Structure 1
Amino acid sequence: MAVDIKLKRANKVYREGETLSGVIILSSKEPIQHQGITLTMDGAVSLQLSAKSVGVFEAFYNSVKPIQLISNNIEVAKAGKLPSGRTEIPFEFPLKVKGGKILYETYHGVFVNIQYTLRCDMRRPLLAKDLMKSCEFIVHSLPQKGRLTPTPVDFSITPESLQNVRERTPLPGFKIRGRLDSTNCIITQPLTGELVVENLDVPVKSIELQLVRVETCGCAEGYARDATEIQNIQIADGNVCQDLAIPIYMVFPRLFTCPTLETTNFKVEFEVNIVVVLQDDHLITENFPL
């Protein structure tokens, strides 16, 4: 006996107010007795502490509980008997929340996870094992009304502009300037800009764009804040020509990024680092909150 859930939309992407529709597919070689088939829709935020925070916030563990966003269930078939072969049961499930809750966008992080699932349960008679199948669907936020005002940022990186210099040995002379077209980003559009190496005493090994998520989980007892890398894109390899405009172009991966979120229990923020790796393996990094 096998159970499967098939949604009509191949990409499984839905927005609040839309209806999830699809079929439950039941396959068996012989007729099957069952005690009822139910379909459950669940959406929750699961929070997790990083290893460095364990022991720091003992009271914190009580408050790191999943935050329920949506929970509905429907009976798709009453107790009865299914024939042998393949049976398809169609379903429709409205994606609506109750009690003023908000459907946050699907997000797969390290310490914060926002996931939505459909679960089909088939209860079986005594001595027969119950069957269960779940499938994840993706929730995207409704587009915001009105045009987003770009917030361009011009930057210039020199030895004097560096803040966290670990080694106090004389730094090589360099000047790198550039521009990010906007740090106020539309998640479906790429991050763009350009970078120019004006002069550099030491040859360049690589220039990279690093996208970072900053996840904060917390309560009244304290907050744990952790930054982790999402992706790293090389935009230049080897010693680049000076005064040559190098394009900056980064597409946001949709499952691992979401609109910036700030709630009472958790925050999800994003930053981009421009990293210049020199031939002697020194790193020059400039950070931009997005």
Structure 2
Amino acid sequence: MLLIILLAFSVTTYSQKKKVEKKKVPVPKWKIHGRFTFLFNQSAFSNWAAGGQNTVAGNFNVNYDFNYKKNNWNWDSRLITGYGLSYFTDKGYRKTNDRFEFNSLVGLKSSNYWFFSFFTNLRTQYTRGFDYSKTPERSVSDFLSPAYLSFGPGMLWKKSDDLNINVAPATTRLTFVNDMFSGKFGVEEGENTALSLGFNLAAYYKTGLMTNVEMENILTIYSDYLDNPQNIDVEYQANIRFKVNKSLKMHITFHTIFDDNASGKVQYRELFGLGVNYSFHEKVTY
């Protein structure tokens, strides 16, 4: 009887410890996600004792992500664009947002989370910008002026689509301006382009803070070997999204830039609003 009990116990223990083969989850070949967000703000006053100014503001943003994986190849592309206007009763229209940015990063896997990489980045704006603190107002930028085109080889550490860091120690950057802004943004007087070679670091991290709340962090650091390498350009953007339902989201953006060639001061932009969120293209293929 004791032998039978021991045998039964051994069989039971073995069956519990036996490894269960995990089913392999197929890796998507293409992941595409296009999102459109429109934020609207409005304030109106009439005989208001404390005073106030009527304003209407609208802001749209489009994010388009393309992620490709096959064997040891990884290709991530992202389009970030947006435009915003505010209307003040006595001042007319003022621009509040103007951005066009395209990123492309190709990687060939070397080991674990490491890839040999090559990145391309293009940044510019759509319309002319003004400094309204001056009287009369002064034009400070225009379409494709400035425009920054950066590219170069490097090494990519990618844990997932939501966490990656790319280091490119031999990055070429071209700065373009029109004749009006020749002599600014690091371009010499009488020229329309400037060439620089430097170190570029780009990091991306998206995480969930709590239920229906996510935070997206985008960081870029650049140092020009050929012109004051100690003056490091830093750009950081944080996007916090609060999901109300499928179509409505509350959106907060903190965006800061330090670029000695563009401005001697820290540039800062903040955006807050409740808006409509729409996924116009969402696709996964295997």
Q: Specify the TM-score bucket, using the shorter chain as the normaliser.
A: under 0.3
Q: Which has the higher contact order (CA 8 A, sep 6+)?
A: 1
Provide the TM-score with structure 1 as the length reference: 0.24
* TM-score where L is the length of structure 2: 0.25
Higher helix share: 2
Instruction: Report which of the two has the higher share of strand.
Output: 2
